[in-house]
């Protein structure tokens, strides 16, 4: 093949080209951050279609977020559109008119991207289930139809709560729905069904949870609903049990591509295996003719073990998928060793940090860009001055760089809760920003309400949705009535809707409830008439108007109601966007998109604003400027990881992900005191990760704040803080355990040179007596955890903290 003429190999190095050129058989691309894995994957899809004449419908590409999927499709569309423009007009893209550019893109959409299956595991396999779920045979005889609803975490937990209280008569304080849901989810992720769960359940509690699991599954089926775990588990079961279905999908998807393969879990791995090998043990699978499986990943960026991801799956790929054609009998591996993203300073910092992990294979990652500027570290008094320092830094950058775009900047943090203080500072300085994560758009009450209407329209069995909207907006249907109908529905074993819409039953009620129910039944029947010939966006508007939802919001006339109304307008916009992106747009498809929209999905290229997000959601992304805040022991790395080496390594990988998001500039922040979990301010020790970055790459460690005024404010704050702390302690009733002022005055400063051991008793000037429970690190890097009487554990730097051994 003539490489010169092939635009999809342009802009790739040799190794990337090899990966893109590879046609049949398995191929693993392992490489560090920013080495062009995702770029290779995208180019490969284009290359398969144009050079190997692969039909787009034979390609299945898995991305980590829906946003990544959308971006990949867009990039592909552009790549292909440029190419046909070049063939047809023989002009560079930049001189093609906008109208023509759009025509080319539309054509590519029609001919190529429309038929491509690109998306997250959940999105792809829920799509597959829409085709074949009715062929699924359940051991317990449970059934689902293609109109199934997808229940998100809130829906799932409310169903579980109902089972715990109503069906099992258990105390929801002892059996917290969230925890029970977690246990069930864990089981599902390992492919464990209720009967097996019951067998291995330990103690009475375990047995009861097993019972909840069994009832929960039945309730899901009765509602014709699936939770997120089912979207993967059911396809595994279906593909295993039904040879016809399996062969169909095996024959259809000849080319599988998976990005971020290090974060695959065993259920997902099972799905890939079933599709690629049609159920044959992968080691023996040899019919690789015109078929491939292509995965890219970086074990150092595996950060989802709490969702059962396991990077051993990546490590095992070569052994698993052997290629009989290749010389060693092992599948091919391509290693990419050049980083195209970051300056060498940033890269050296990241490489040095990650080399502290023991459980890893060392690999090469060379910088291709210049040295760039030093990393800046800022130490702040507390989380408020940290937020101010971040903003101060951003405004300095703005002042020195006229071309600076807010969209080039990301502020990353370990936990969602950290965003609030930063947001407040950004608002104060009028800097535009968007928080990715937090409360998802689709989790907002009004949005969920309207979606519940839509779900009920296509899936009358969906009682969770029905219960949500039966009396929303208010129709005078009382709680007792609802309870009576619910009981009748479970006793008769028929969907709630059938009971609620039975004219006999309604008439038997009389009064306000009956009137309300009749109105509701008429509304739903009426809306259903429009179901088949109305676009999702119009249907949403119909629901909002006919249900009286919008008029109620308008009548309420508060700011909050106005905000809710705007959110509903945004829902209409979302459905319009969905219709634009999908030719065969239907309500089921839109509802699935809404249910599966993830934290990182907010698309925002139109506005120039700063992105705030957790480190977890930043994976795969890049920004010219990155601020990473909260680098403190117990926050990042997280408290839980401090005495668990495996979790600490995972936290370090997360830090590696964070550092490697930056292209040009990296700013690190930590505070010496922080209020966590809405509790007291606590002293904070700088993160061990900071000490793992070579000091010659870092400058700063300076006390920095937004000008003299702020410093004054902070001084005031410090002066009042002790009083405030005392107030809090008094009101929380734990002050009796604290030393009296007399004891506090006796305190004579930190204890230098003491060698600490677990079990040592100490006296802290503010927290009183405590016992050392853990020691982390030594020498310069030492920090210790102390359990104080009547309080939770605290992590302190013994060289700075006001403690003395007693």
For the chain, state the CA radius of gyration: 29
User: Is residue 660 involved in binding Mg ion (CB under 5 A)?
Assistant: no
Q: How far is the CB of 310 from ligand ATP (least distance, A)?
A: 18
299 marked among binding-site residues: no
Cα separation values, 305 from 190, 236, 444, 599, Å: 13, 21, 28, 18
Helix (H, G, I), strand (E, B) or coil at 761: strand
Q: Which two tokens stand for residue 725?
A: 């702390």
Footprint of ligand ATP on residues 324-343 (CB under 6 A)? 340-341
- Which lies closer to ligand ATP via its Cβ, residue 299 or residue 458? 299
Binding mask 614-633 for ligand ATP (x = CB under 6 A): ------x-x-----------
CA distance 413 to 651: 12
31 marked among binding-site residues: yes
218 marked among binding-site residues: no
| Other C-beta atoms lying within 10 Å of the C-beta of residue 42 | 24
* Helices and strands in the chain: count of H runs, count of E runs: 31, 24
Q: Which does 257 bind (CB under 5 to 8 A by kind): Mg ion, ligand ATP, none?
A: none
Question: DSSP string covering 2-45, please?
Answer: -GGG-TTTTT--HHHHHHHH--SEEEEEEE-TTSSHHHHHHHHH
H, E, C per residue of 346-359: HHHHHHHHHCCCCC
Helix (H, G, I), strand (E, B) or coil at 113: helix
Q: Which does 298 bind (CB under 5 to 8 A by kind): ligand ATP, Mg ion, none?
A: ligand ATP
Window of 31-39, 408-416, 454-462, 693-701 that interacts with ligand ATP by CB under 6 A: 31-39
Q: How far is the CB of 300 from Mg ion (least distance, A)?
A: 13
User: Is residue 407 involved in binding ligand ATP (CB under 6 A)?
Assistant: no
| Other C-beta atoms lying within 10 Å of the C-beta of residue 53 | 7
- Which lies closer to Mg ion via its Cβ, residue 68 or residue 635? 68
CA distance 416 to 423: 12
- Which lies closer to Mg ion via its Cβ, residue 155 or residue 298? 298
94 marked among binding-site residues: no
Q: Is 3 a catalytic residue?
A: no
Active-site residue among 259, 599, 601, 651? Answer: 259
Give me the residue whose beta carbon is nearest to ligand ATP.
Answer: 36
Q: How far is the CB of 40 from ligand ATP (least distance, A)?
A: 7
| Other C-beta atoms lying within 10 Å of the C-beta of residue 648 | 20
Helix (H) or strand (E) holding 425: helix 419-428
Q: Which residues lie closer than 8 Å to 232 by C-beta, 6 or more apart?
A: 121, 122, 125, 267, 268, 271
Question: DSSP string covering 506-561, please?
Answer: HHHH-HHHHHHHHHHHHHHHHHHHTTTTS-HHHHHHHHHHHTTHHHHHHHH-SHHH
Phi, psi angles (nearest 5°) of residue 180:
-65, -40
CA 288 to chain CA mean position, Å: 34
The bridge status of strand 338-339 relative to strand 793-796 is unpaired
Q: Which two tokens stand for residue 4?
A: 């010169």
35 marked among binding-site residues: yes
Q: Which does 616 bind (CB under 5 to 8 A by kind): Mg ion, ligand ATP, none?
A: none
Binding mask 38-57 for Mg ion (x = CB under 5 A): x-------------------
Q: How far is the CB of 373 from ligand ATP (least distance, A)?
A: 19
By CB under 6 A, how many residues form the interface with ligand ATP? 19
Q: How far is the CB of 4 from ligand ATP (least distance, A)?
A: 16
Closest residue by Cα to residue 495 from 160, 732, 806, 220:
220
- Helix 511-529 vs helix 536-546: crossing angle, to nearest 10: 160
264 marked among binding-site residues: no
Q: How far is the CB of 622 from ligand ATP (least distance, A)?
A: 6
User: Is residue 186 involved in binding ligand ATP (CB under 6 A)?
Assistant: no
Q: Which does 34 bind (CB under 5 to 8 A by kind): ligand ATP, Mg ion, none?
A: ligand ATP
Interface with ligand ATP (CB under 6 A), residue from 20, 33, 527, 568: 33
Question: DSSP string covering 762-798, please?
Answer: EEETTTEEEEEEEEES-GGG-EEEEEETTS-EEEE-T
792 marked among binding-site residues: no
Window of 35-43, 144-152, 225-233, 544-552 that interacts with ligand ATP by CB under 6 A: 35-43
Interface with ligand ATP (CB under 6 A), residue from 6, 9, 27, 34: 34
DSSP letter assigned to residue 470: T
CA distance 464 to 449: 11
- Which lies closer to ligand ATP via its Cβ, residue 630 or residue 658? 658
Q: Does residue 459 contact residue 151 with C-beta atoms inside 8 Å?
A: no
Q: Does residue 49 contact residue 255 with C-beta atoms inside 8 Å?
A: no
Q: Which does 701 bind (CB under 5 to 8 A by kind): ligand ATP, Mg ion, none?
A: none
Q: Is 260 a catalytic residue?
A: yes
Q: How far is the CB of 15 from ligand ATP (least distance, A)?
A: 9
- Which lies closer to ligand ATP via its Cβ, residue 16 or residue 126? 16
Window of 29-37, 214-222, 224-232, 543-551 that interacts with Mg ion by CB under 5 A: 29-37
Binding mask 270-309 for ligand ATP (x = CB under 6 A): ----------------------------x--x--------
Q: Which does 11 bind (CB under 5 to 8 A by kind): Mg ion, ligand ATP, none?
A: ligand ATP
Interface with ligand ATP (CB under 6 A), residue from 7, 13, 355, 577: 13
Q: Can you give the length of the chain in residues?
A: 806
Q: How far is the CB of 336 from Mg ion (least distance, A)?
A: 11
Strand partners, 296: 29
- Which lies closer to ligand ATP via its Cβ, residue 39 or residue 414? 39
Window of 8-16, 56-64, 613-621, 677-685 that interacts with Mg ion by CB under 5 A: 613-621
Interface with ligand ATP (CB under 6 A), residue from 25, 26, 36, 119: 36
User: Is residue 39 involved in binding ligand ATP (CB under 6 A)?
Assistant: yes
Q: Does residue 146 contact residue 134 with C-beta atoms inside 8 Å?
A: yes
- Which lies closer to Mg ion via its Cβ, residue 31 or residue 390? 31
Window of 37-45, 81-89, 412-420, 748-756 that interacts with ligand ATP by CB under 6 A: 37-45
Binding mask 650-689 for ligand ATP (x = CB under 6 A): ----------x-----------------------------
Q: Which does 119 bind (CB under 5 to 8 A by kind): Mg ion, ligand ATP, none?
A: none
Q: Which two tokens stand for residue 529?
A: 């008439």
Interface with ligand ATP (CB under 6 A), residue from 22, 37, 47, 475: 37
Window of 13-21, 506-514, 620-628, 667-675 that interacts with Mg ion by CB under 5 A: 620-628
Q: Is 103 a catalytic residue?
A: no
Q: Is 37 a catalytic residue?
A: yes
Q: Does residue 177 contact residue 164 with C-beta atoms inside 8 Å?
A: yes
Active-site residue among 37, 67, 83, 794? Answer: 37
Interface with ligand ATP (CB under 6 A), residue from 3, 10, 11, 102: 11
Question: DSSP string covering 262-293, please?
Answer: GG-BHHHHHHHHHHHHTTS-GGG----TT-EE
Active-site residue among 73, 188, 414, 661? Answer: 661
Q: Is 481 a catalytic residue?
A: no
Closest residue by Cα to residue 687 from 777, 567, 566, 580:
777
CA distance 571 to 537: 8
Which stretches of the chain bind Mg ion, using CB under 5 A? Answer: 37-38, 620
Annotated binding site: 31-38
Which stretches of the chain bind ligand ATP, using CB under 6 A? Answer: 11-13, 16, 31, 33-39, 298, 301, 340-341, 620, 622, 660
Q: Write out the catalytic residue numbers.
A: 37-38, 259-260, 301, 661
Annotated binding site for ATP: 31-38
């Amino acid at each position: 093949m003539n490489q010169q003429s092939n635009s999809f190999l342009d802009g790739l190095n040799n190794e990337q080209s090899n990966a893109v050129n590879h046609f049949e058989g398995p191929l693993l691309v392992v490489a560090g951050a920013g080495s062009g894995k995702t770029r290779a994957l995208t180019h490969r899809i284009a290359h398969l279609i144009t050079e190997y004449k692969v039909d787009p419908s034979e390609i299945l590409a898995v991305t980590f977020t829906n946003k990544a999927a959308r971006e990949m499709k867009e990039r592909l569309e552009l790549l292909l559109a440029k190419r046909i423009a070049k063939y047809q007009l023989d002009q560079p893209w930049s001189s093609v008119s906008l109208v023509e550019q759009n025509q080319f893109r539309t054509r590519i959409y029609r001919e190529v991207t429309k038929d491509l299956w690109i998306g997250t595991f959940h999105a792809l396999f829920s799509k597959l289930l829409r085709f074949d779920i009715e062929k699924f045979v359940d051991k317990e005889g449970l059934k689902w139809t293609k109109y199934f609803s997808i229940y998100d975490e809130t829906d799932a937990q409310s169903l579980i709560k109902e089972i715990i209280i109503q069906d099992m008569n258990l105390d929801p304080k002892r059996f917290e729905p969230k925890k029970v849901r977690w246990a069930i989810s864990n089981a599902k992720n390992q492919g464990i069904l209720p009967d097996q769960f019951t067998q291995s359940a330990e103690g009475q509690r375990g047995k009861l949870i097993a019972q909840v699991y069994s009832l929960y599954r039945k309730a899901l089926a009765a509602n014709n609903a699936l939770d997120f775990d089912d979207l993967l588990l059911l396809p595994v079961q279906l593909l295993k049990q039904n040879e016809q279905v399996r062969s169909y999908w095996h024959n259809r998807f000849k080319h599988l591509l998976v990005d971020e393969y290090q974060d695959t879990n065993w259920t997902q791995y099972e799905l890939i295996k079933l599709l690629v090998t049609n159920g044959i043990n992968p080691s023996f699978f040899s019919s690789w003719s015109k078929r491939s499986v292509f995965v890219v990943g970086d074990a150092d960026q595996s950060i989802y073990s709490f969702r059962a991801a396991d990077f051993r799956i990546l490590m095992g790929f070569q052994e698993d998928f052997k290629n009989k054609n290749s010389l060693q009998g092992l599948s091919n591996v391509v290693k990419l060793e050049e980083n195209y993203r970051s300056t060498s300073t940033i890269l050296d910092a990241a490489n040095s940090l990650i080399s502290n992990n023991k459980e890893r294979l060392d690999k090469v990652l060379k910088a291709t860009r210049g040295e760039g500027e030093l990393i800046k570290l800022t130490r702040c008094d507390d989380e408020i001055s940290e937020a101010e320092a971040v903003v101060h830094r951003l405004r300095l950058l703005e002042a020195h760089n006229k071309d600076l775009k807010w969209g080039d900047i990301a502020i990353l943090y370990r936990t969602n809760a950290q965003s609030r203080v930063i947001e407040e500072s950004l608002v104060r300085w009028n800097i535009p920003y968007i928080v990715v994560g937090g409360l998802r758009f689709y989790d907002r009450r009004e949005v969920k309400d309207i979606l519940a209407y839509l779900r009920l329209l296509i899936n009358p069995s969906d009682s969770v949705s029905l219960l949500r909207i039966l009396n929303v907006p208010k129709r005078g249907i009382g709680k007792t009535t609802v309870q009576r109908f619910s009981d009748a529905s479970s006793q008769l074993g028929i969907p709630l809707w059938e009971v609620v819409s039975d004219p006999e039953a309604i008439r038997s009620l009389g009064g306000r409830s009956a009137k309300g129910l009749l109105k509701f039944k008429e509304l739903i029947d009426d809306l259903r008439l429009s179901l088949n010939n109305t676009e999702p966006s119009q249907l949403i508007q119909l629901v909002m108007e006919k249900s009286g939802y919008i008029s109620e919001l308008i009548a309420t006339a508060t700011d909050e109601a106005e905000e809710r109304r705007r959110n509903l307008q945004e829902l209409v916009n979302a459905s319009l966007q969905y219709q634009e992106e999908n030719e065969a747009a239907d309500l089921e498809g839109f509802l699935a998109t809404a249910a599966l929209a993830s934290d990182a999905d907010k698309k925002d290229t139109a506005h120039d604003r700063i992105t705030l997000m957790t480190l977890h959601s930043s994976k795969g992304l890049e920004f010219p400027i990155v601020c990473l805040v909260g680098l403190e022991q117990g926050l990042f790395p997280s408290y839980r990881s401090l005495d668990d080496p495996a979790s600490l390594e995972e936290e370090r990988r997360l830090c590696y992900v964070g550092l490697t998001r930056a292209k040009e500039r990296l700013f690190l922040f930590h505070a010496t005191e922080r209020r966590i979990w809405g509790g007291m301010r606590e002293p904070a020790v700088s993160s061990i990760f900071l000490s793992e970055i070579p000091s010659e790459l870092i400058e700063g460690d300076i006390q920095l704040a937004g000008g003299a005024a702020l410093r004054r404010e902070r001084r005031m704050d410090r002066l009042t803080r002790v009083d405030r702390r005392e107030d809090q302690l008094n009101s929380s009733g734990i002050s009796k355990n604290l030393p009296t002022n007399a004891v506090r005055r006796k305190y004579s400063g930190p204890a230098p040179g003491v060698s600490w051991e677990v079990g040592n008793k100490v006296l802290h000037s503010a927290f009183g007596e405590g016992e050392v429970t853990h020691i982390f690190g030594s020498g310069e890097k030492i920090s210790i955890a102390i359990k104080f009487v009547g309080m939770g554990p605290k992590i302190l730097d013994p060289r700075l903290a006001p403690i003395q051994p007693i």
